[in-house]
């Protein structure tokens, strides 16, 4: 437990220092965010805000985990980190092309999907070799386990991972939202890993707790920096990677409810728009923009969405008690 708390504190301190150094560098490189023409008009003032700020908590998490290698017995955390770094690399390429071509669109949807599926498949194979993955699907709350054919499970797992990563990415739409919503999720995964005796695995989400809290000092409204796809896809990789490493992927339905609702709001908006030939179900999607157009301040959206996530994480904790013992 001392390692866990030390990791949280050290990661927070490192992220703060890295951010202090990184922010002027990003400004000097003119690594500023472009605002989509179809986005909220009141976000135009954010144009030019440095992006790729996710590097500050990514570097911090990598340092913390590398130091923990001195005490580490189980290597699953390294696989989760590698997964997240690969997703983060996809995000970095996306951010890079946005900056290079001075537009808000980077990689195409197909390019992203293919890269993410390849990364997911490799990660699942590594978990299989490590013996950390089975095709038994644990169902939280009811504490039942459902056997699934291994091939079906692999396709299910790849779908969940790619969907989760992109859902976390969609949540990064207003100042502080993705970071603040993800903190309680990381607390949940840290607590579950500790309860299951997987202390080495708990180090990674613990590092993100401290890292994200420090990052929010830079990203809280009005944001001085955005995490970019580099940061949001990395966080998505940690979220889904931890769920599968703990062999409880369906827990994402509970702890990731905000991510799921954000994604569903986009799907429903597009589907309703096409079916009704131009009518809209929400004022704007993802749903955080709908609440903005209803008059909610960005700070209120962050606090309410985070409170919902905290509640769902508490429900999830009691829902898996029978599984973790």
Q: Which of 187, 200, 191 has the alpha carbon at shortest distance from 67?
A: 200
Residue 98's pLDDT is 75
Residue 140's pLDDT is 92
Classify burial at 121, counting beta carbons within 10 Å of its beta carbon; exposed 0-12, middle 13-18, buried 19 or more. Answer: middle
| Residue 28, pLDDT above cutoff 90 | no
Domain residue ranges in the chain: 2-324
Q: Which of 52, 55, 76, 51 has the alpha carbon at shortest distance from 65?
A: 76
* DSSP output for 150-195: HHHHHHHHHHHHHHHHHHHHHHTTSTTHHHHHHHHHHHHHHHHHHH
Classify burial at 271, counting beta carbons within 10 Å of its beta carbon; exposed 0-12, middle 13-18, buried 19 or more. Answer: exposed
Mean pLDDT on 278-305: 94
| Residue 46, pLDDT above cutoff 80 | no
Question: What sign does the dihedral 314-319-320-325 (CA atoms) show?
Answer: positive
Query: Does residue 150 or residue 39 have the better pLDDT?
Result: 150
Residue 310's pLDDT is 98
Q: What pLDDT, in 10s, does the model give residues 57-96? A: 999 999 999 998 888 778 889 999 999 999 999 999 888 8
pTM (2 d.p.) = 0.93
| Residue 241, pLDDT above cutoff 80 | yes
| Residue 35, pLDDT above cutoff 80 | no
Query: Does residue 6 or residue 133 have the better pLDDT?
Result: 6
Residue 249's pLDDT is 94
| Residue 44, pLDDT above cutoff 70 | no
Q: What pLDDT, in 10s, does the model give residues 130-166? A: 777 778 899 999 888 998 888 888 899 999 999 999 9
Mean pLDDT on 108-124: 88
Residue 36's pLDDT is 57
Query: Does residue 29 or residue 219 have the better pLDDT?
Result: 219
| Residue 45, pLDDT above cutoff 60 | yes
CB 282 within 8 A of CB 272: no
Query: What is the Cα–Cα distance from 70 to 287, expressed in whole angstroms?
Result: 44
| Residue 39, pLDDT above cutoff 60 | no
Mean residue pLDDT across the chain: 90
| Residue 18, pLDDT above cutoff 70 | yes
Angle at 290 between CA 286 and CA 292, to 5 degrees: 115
Residue 41's pLDDT is 61
pLDDT tier at 251, thresholds 50, 70, 90: very high
Residue 48's pLDDT is 75
């Amino acid at each position: 437990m001392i390692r866990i708390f030390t990791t949280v504190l050290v990661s927070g301190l490192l992220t703060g220092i890295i951010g202090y150094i990184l922010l002027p560098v990003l400004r000097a490189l003119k690594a500023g965010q472009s605002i989509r023409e179809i986005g909220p008009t009141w976000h135009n003032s954010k144009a030019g805000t440095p992006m790729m700020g996710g590097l500050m908590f990514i570097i911090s998490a990598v340092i913390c985990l590398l130091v923990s290698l001195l005490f580490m017995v189980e290597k699953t955390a390294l696989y989760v980190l590698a997964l997240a770094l690969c997703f983060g690399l996809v995000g970095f390429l996306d951010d890079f092309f946005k900056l290079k071509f001075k537009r808000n669109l980077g990689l195409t949807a197909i390019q992203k999907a293919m890269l993410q599926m390849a990364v997911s498949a490799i990660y699942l194979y590594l978990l299989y070799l490590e013996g950390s993955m089975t095709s038994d699907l644990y169902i939280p709350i009811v504490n039942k386990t459902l056997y699934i054919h291994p091939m079906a499970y692999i396709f299910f797992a790849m779908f969940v991972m790619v969907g989760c990563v992109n859902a976390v990415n969609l949540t990064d739409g207003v100042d502080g939202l993705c970071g603040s919503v993800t903190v309680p999720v990381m607390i949940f995964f840290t607590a579950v890993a500790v309860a299951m005796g997987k202390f080495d695995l708990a180090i990674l989400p613990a590092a993100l707790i401290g890292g994200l809290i420090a990052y929010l000092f830079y990203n809280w409204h009005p944001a001085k920096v955005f995490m970019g796809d580099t940061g949001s896809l990395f966080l998505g990789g940690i979220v889904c990677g931890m769920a599968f490493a703990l062999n409880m992927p369906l827990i994402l339905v509970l702890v990731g409810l905000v991510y799921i609702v954000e994604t569903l709001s986009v799907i429903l908006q597009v589907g309703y728009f096409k079916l009704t030939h131009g009518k809209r179900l929400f004022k704007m999607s993802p749903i955080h923009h709908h609440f903005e157009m209803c008059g909610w301040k960005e700070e209120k959206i962050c606090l309410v969405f985070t409170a919902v996530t905290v509640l769902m994480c508490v429900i999830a904790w009691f829902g898996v008690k029978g599984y973790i013992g």
